[in-house]
Structure 1
Amino acid sequence: MLKVLICDERPLISGALQQMLAEEPDLEIVGVADSGVHAMILMRSHHPDVVVSGPRLGGMSGTDLAVQLRDAATDSKPPLVLYGVPDTESGLDEALQAGVDGLCADDAGREELVLAIKAVAQGGAMLGPSIAHRLLSWFRQSEHPAVAEPGPLATSLTSRERQVLTLTAQGMSIDEIAEELFIGVATVRTHLYRVKSKLELRDRAALVAFVYQRGLMQESGDDAAD
């Protein structure tokens, strides 16, 4: 049973999310917050496994809440799914840099949202289809496309670390990466720790952004052959 905290300043939206997720037998709604302060209080008392937030909360945005969770001085830092991502490139970039683990458009259905919740709860990442399409269009139309040369930080990675990095950027969970590469879960965690240390990145969202910005995704096939 996954414990879920819903955060949105609009009662109509938070009520709809409650009703939508209540149909899932393995999800439990442990609270509903209408402000950032209220959300942080409920997180300390209920320890949710996943936070689902809308783009606006009383006193802060959903991305602001993601930053607070990322920087909180506590061992309990639940992943966050942002529901209703701003329809701009800057909004997507801000969400990724803030450490959001799942991104869903405001027209996402119950199945997509549930998949996102379960994916981030398992240590993975999730981009809704429309979000993924917008990101791809953004990078393809950019005046400054991803550079072919990955740079000294990326070249410091071993072949296996690059594999783990690119699979992570594809949204695979730690368990899925272990199965794909025929290695243990603990080994995947070790590789991810080393990758974050070498690249000086703090979370999964930053890793995803790094891979696409440096053009590393297209090299994943070459890494697998090494």
Structure 2
Amino acid sequence: MINVLVADDHALIRSGLAGMLGAQPDITIVGAVADGAEAVRHAGTLRPDVVVMDIRMPKMDGIEATRRIRLAPDPPQVLVLTTFDLDEYVYEALRAGAGGFLLKDAPPGQLAEAVRTVAAGESLLAPAVTKRLITRFLRVPPSPTAAARAAADRLTERELEVLRLVARGLSNQELAERLHLSDATVKTHVSRVLTKLDLRDRVQAVVYAYEHGLIVPGEDD
């Protein structure tokens, strides 16, 4: 079973999320809270596998709550919910350690699958949304730095290509099709990129690539 804590300041949304997820045979709702401070506290006491986190909440927003939760020993995964067109903090949430994000208008089945994905330790980055997101929130792309050049030196040409495509939101299957590689080979390349750059997951890889100027927002593939 996947134990889930829901954090949203709107009672109706909070109740709806808990109801939708709790109806799944493999998901148990261990708590539902109304602000980030409560999310941090209950994450420590209830030990959920996943925290479904709203961004805009009173007392403590979802970004700071995510950061504090992810700094704890053996922390739960965090799935951030966003209205996207209204929230301009999703990028910061990813930097804070969120395992992924999902739009609030996603259908129940997609929400449940997102919880399963992040619970398994995988990152949830919807390709189309990721590209739009990064383009919007990194309006002034950084120039390649010495750190970026050093990182590129640690990667093979193929690994650097994989990193750039991951940063554009491509899934492993799409990477395999684009590069004419097997799924297993793609997974190996992604794993090596994360290991060489000391990154936790694909979310960090996306942030790393943009922050270090290895890819330019809005640039064609």
- With the shorter chain as reference, the TM-score category is 0.7 to 0.9
2:35 aligns to what? 35
The Cα RMSD (Å) is 3.7
Task: Please give the alpha-carbon distance, in whole angstroms, between the structure 2 residues aligned to 1:122 and 1:134.
Answer: 26
Deviation at 1:153, TM superposition (A): 1.8
How far did residue 34 of structure 1 move? 1.6
- Mapping for residues 75-224 of structure 1, pairs under 5 Å: 76-87=74-85, 90-128=88-126, 131-132=129-130, 134-135=132-133, 138=136, 142=139, 144=141, 151-158=149-156, 162=160, 165=163, 169=167, 170=169, 180-182=183-185, 192-196=194-198, 204-212=202-210, 213-215=213-215
Q: 1:183 and 1:205, CA in 2 relative to 1: closer, same or farther beyond 3 A? A: closer
TM-score by length of 2: 0.73
TM-aligned CA deviation for residue 14 of structure 1:
0.6
SS in 1 for 2:43: helix
SS in 2 for 1:60: coil
Question: How many Å separate the matches in 2 of 1:59 and 1:93?
Answer: 21
Aligned partners of 2:117, 2:183: CA distance in 1, in Å?
Answer: 16
Identify the residue that residue 15 of structure 1 maps to in structure 2.
Answer: 15
3-state SS of paired residue (2:155): coil
Equivalent position amino acid for 1:194 in 2: K
Over 3 Å counting, the alpha-carbon distance change for 1:168 and 1:50 in structure 2 is farther
| AA matched with 2:153 | T
Match of residue 224 from structure 1: none
The Cα shift of 1:120 comes to 1.2
C-alpha change, 1:118 and 1:84, in structure 2 (3 Å) is same
Residue by residue, what CA displacement relative to the aligned partner does 1:76-119 show, whole Å, maximum 9, x if unpaired? 21111111254368423222222221111221221221222111
Residue equivalent to 1:58: 58
Identity %: 31
Q: How far is the alpha carbon of 1:188 from its aligned partner?
A: 7.3
Tell me if structure 2 keeps the 8 A contact 1:89–1:138: no
Match of 2:179 in 1: none
CA contact (8 A) 2:63 2:96 kept: yes
Contact map agreement 2:8 2:14 (CA 8 A) in 1: yes
Distance across 1 between alignment mates of 2:97 and 2:105: 22
SS in structure 1 opposite 2:89? helix
Q: Structure 1 length as normaliser, TM-score?
A: 0.71
SS of 2:121 mapped into structure 1: coil
Matching residue's letter, 2:80: L
Contiguous gaps of at least 5 residues in structure 2: 177-181
Secondary structure of 2:208's aligned partner: helix
